[in-house]
Amino acid sequence: MQTTFYDIHKSLDAKIVNFHGWEMPLQYTGIMDEHVNVRTNVGLFDVSHMGRFEIKGQHSLAFLQELVTNDLEKLGDHQALYSPMCYEDGGIVDDIIAYRLAHDRFLVVVNASNRSKDFEWISKHSKSAENVEDISDRTALLAIQGPRACDVLQELVEMDLQSVKPFHLVDANIDGIECMLSRTGYTGEDGFELFFDSSRTEIWSKLMHHGERFGIKPAGLGARDTLRLEAGLMLYGNDMDENTTPLEVPLKWTISFGKKQEFIGKKALSKSHPSKKLVGFEVLEKRIARQGNKVLVEGMEVGFVTSGSFSPTLRKSIGFCFVPVEVLLDQSIQIDIGGKPYEAKVSSTRFYKRK
């Protein structure tokens, strides 16, 4: 599958890779260059491969409240919320962002790898299937991220974008193109995600043109992965899945046990006593840990790496791993890389926080 911007990526000599069935740009000028540019200037990402579902009807709020662990009652119109969806046993179906567009209308954005599974799961629980629609193909999604992201967009819209708070969204017109702008992202930087009609591919060139003086560059999946890792943002399929609960990863804050609506997985989560937890780590030697590497404590295997990379910002090898709950912050561990143990230490999962 290809997004509506595929030909643009090819014209920019992007390195194209298969990502869960999608032909997506891994990099353009290089992962390191694109990563640093997002941290210092601004980068433009094609994230149209993500799934987008519209849910509407008078019971849409109650319906979604049953599916997600977080409390959507907290949302006003044009506000968004991050939340896991769980199975009855507490395992994670997916982690999503739900946008309340109106009193009885929501947009749900899901991971590309889970689009079919999530749509089936959501539709299965809907009392009226016509209220759930997959609008992914007729909408496009771009993310503009970095300290100059707001400056670039401000050149194209009349409203004051600095007044838009994180996880809030506004409707805007960009040179005749109707867009919904959401102050969200997956990089740890300021920025917006833009939803619009998938036929309006010219918006890419408009953003690149107006962003030229702010140092804009396109960025691919490679930089997106290193940026999210530094920012402590998890990836479904790596750091969590159906065999993981929100209590085993740092998502306890997303579970609203006290909300009025009973949600799927609540009983299992309320009785859960996790034996493992997801933590951050940094390798103290000059080797890069990768997903699947074994984690050792005093020579004994106790867990495994879920995500690992060299951090372009911190200039060291970092990652996430599962370890027993008894393992402490700053505790010494070893990572088995190529059959040899390398010294590392446990850290927070958040390695970078913008000023």
Closest CA to 31 of 216, 214, 221: 221
Q: What pLDDT is recorded for position 129?
A: 55
Nearest to 219 by CA among 26, 71, 60: 26
pLDDT category, 175, cuts 50, 70, 90?
confident
Q: Structure pTM?
A: 0.95
Q: Give the pLDDT confidence score for residue 130 in this predicted structure.
A: 60
Would you state the structure tokens that stand for residue 124, as one six-digit string?
Answer: 């299965």
Task: Give the pLDDT mean for 219-244.
Answer: 98
pLDDT tens per residue, range 100-151:
999 999 999 999 999 999 999 999 998 765 689 999 999 999 999 999 999 9
Q: What is the mean pLDDT of residues 150-178?
A: 95
pLDDT digits (tens, 9 = 90+) for 4-61: 999 999 999 999 999 999 999 999 999 999 999 999 999 999 999 999 999 999 889 9
Query: Which residues does 200 contact at the CB level (< 8 Å), separation at least 6?
Result: 140, 177
Give mean pLDDT, residues 280-293. 97
Q: Does domain 51-134 match CATH 3.30.70.1400?
A: yes
Where do the domains of the chain lie? 6-50+137-230, 51-134, 275-347
| Shared fold status for 51-134 and 275-347 | no
**In this predicted structure, which of 22-26, 101-105, 216-220, 276-280 has the lowest mean pLDDT?**
101-105
Torsion of CA 228, 230, 231, 237, to 10 degrees: 40
Residue 110 carries which DSSP code?
E
Q: Which CATH architecture has domain 6-50+137-230?
A: 2-Layer Sandwich (3.30)
What percent of the chain is predicted at pLDDT more than 90? 95
Strands (E), 183-252: 191-197, 216-218
Distance CA 346, CA 331 (A): 5
Is CATH 2.40.30.110 correct for 275-347?
Answer: yes
119-133, 177-191, 265-279, 287-301: which has the minimum mean pLDDT?
119-133
pLDDT tens digits along 67-110? 999 999 999 999 999 999 999 999 999 999 999 999 999 999 99
Q: What H or E segment, with its residue span, contains residue 343?
A: strand 340-347
Query: What pLDDT does 336 receive?
Result: 98
* pLDDT averaged over every residue in the chain: 96
> Residues 303-335: pLDDT tens digits?
999 999 999 999 999 999 999 999 999 999 999
